[in-house]
A and B are shown apart, each in its own frame.
Chain A
């Protein structure tokens, strides 16, 4: 797929990615600061993540999730 657009959203610096499929339609995905990017990821996405996902941003996102686990009642 061809990279079409990267949008940085929220204080947690999520990367909203829009790509163009072979058939010409849009495909969407979101990358969060806890993720490890694939080796074959678009270079522009890698560069944006490198810029936006500072240690402070990563730590804040990780801490947020650790402090708020899913309220699960498994049966």
Chain B
């Protein structure tokens, strides 16, 4: 390989799964060495209600214990959901010890938020995904099915630590 990784070789350009197979050790790249790289898809399930998954936007990329995900929930049903399950990997730690706000971003269409909400964040707990609203001058508020209506959409991306 040449360019981004290693010395001179026959391959260059974007690093893909064919260049970084699982559990392959690359000298000089400590962050990847021995821990693997993987890409794929996963399927989220709501605790209630339904939505349409855009398959092409259901994607994870894992490097070592770091997993980045993107997902598109389209055409939410009225009273769609409060929690989502279906993470591609077990969190690290696997139980309530993993109590963390995931680094996340959301783009929402039609979803109602509490007045004075200034931030929406993902919270992963007990292997479930929650969406929380930070409200100016008030306590945080979990987004529930009552905030969603028929035809609403949520596109989201997040990262979390998973079991190796």
B-contacting residues of A (Cβ < 8 Å)?
9-12, 14, 16, 18, 21, 25-30, 32, 61, 64-65, 67-68, 70, 72-75
Contacts and interface: CB of A to CB of B under 8 A. Distances in A.
B2 interface: no
Given A9-B163, A28-B40, A74-B144, A64 B96 contact: yes
What class of interface size applies to chain B in its complex with A?
A: 20 to 34
* Interface core residue of B42, B89, B92, B128 (most chain A CB under 10 Å): B89
A75 B114 contact: yes
Specify the main secondary structure of chain B where it touches its partner.
loop
Contacts, number: 79
A75 B39 CA distance: 38
A70 B125 contact: yes
Interface in B11-45: 38-43
8 contacts: A10-B93, A14-B163, A26-B39, A27-B41, A28-B89, A61-B95, A70-B125, A73-B141
Contact of A10 (B40, B43, B90): B90
B135 interface: yes
B42 A11 contact: no
Given A32-B127, A68-B126, A75-B135, A27 B40 contact: yes
Interface of B: 38-43, 60, 86-90, 92-96, 114, 125-128, 130, 135, 138-142, 144, 163
Contacts of B96: 64-65, 67-68
B89 A16 contact: yes
Contacts of B140: 73
Contact of B41 (A12, A26, A65): A26
A8 B125 CA distance: 20
A27 to B, nearest CB: 5
